[in-house]
């Protein structure tokens, strides 16, 4: 992940609804990212009932839950969260690639922004730095969701009017 992140925009999220799908595997790290993301959404004015959280067993199950949630047409954007850490095999890379592909296809097919917040790390130390340390990826994922929901709302306003 790049350390050259964009500057946060000031976006009013008070009229937006977000779906957050979070894996339970590596729960302590995912919870840190989840709490940070929700905190950022609240800072932008998203009300308590403007965020729905679905929990799934692991990152591999995230795309299915995202699709189920977005099929309702209730959300302006979705944040998909999980933490994959390299073990003794490359299983984490296989899951990361399949999840990335599925999330992108869901976003394009349903025309709803899906922020890929699946952290892929070579070690637990890397994962901790990204999830609960100084990098604060949860905040970044929420900012991306706010920006994309705002973009989607502007596009729909142009087409409706």
Local structure of 115: helix, strand or coil: strand
Q: Residue 116 forms beta bridges with which residues?
A: 80
Q: Do 111 and 44 contact (CB within 8 A), yes or no? A: no
Active-site residues: which are they? Answer: 91
What tokens were used for 15? 């009229």
Q: b/e per residue, 17-55, with b = 16+ CB within 10 A?
A: bbbbbbbebbeebbbbbbebbbebbeebebeeebbeebb
- Beta strands of 47-111 (E only): which ranges? 51-56, 77-85
């Amino acid at each position: 992940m790049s350390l050259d992140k964009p500057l946060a925009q000031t976006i009013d999220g008070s009229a937006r609804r977000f779906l957050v799908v979070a894996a339970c595997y590596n729960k302590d790290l995912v919870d840190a990212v989840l709490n940070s993301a929700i905190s950022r959404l609240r800072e932008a004015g998203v009300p308590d009932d403007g965020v729905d959280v679905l929990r799934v067993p692991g990152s591999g199950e995230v795309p299915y839950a995202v699709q189920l949630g977005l099929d309702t047409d209730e959300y302006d954007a979705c944040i998909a969260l999980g933490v994959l850490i390299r073990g003794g095999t490359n299983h984490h890379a296989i899951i990361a690639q399949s999840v990335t592909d599925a999330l992108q296809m869901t976003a394009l097919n349903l025309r709803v922004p899906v922020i890929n917040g699946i952290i892929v790390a070579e070690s637990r130390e890397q994962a901790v730095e990204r999830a609960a340390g100084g990098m604060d990826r949860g905040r970044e994922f929420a900012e991306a969701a706010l920006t994309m929901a705002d973009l989607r709302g502007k596009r729909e306003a142009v087409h409706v009017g």
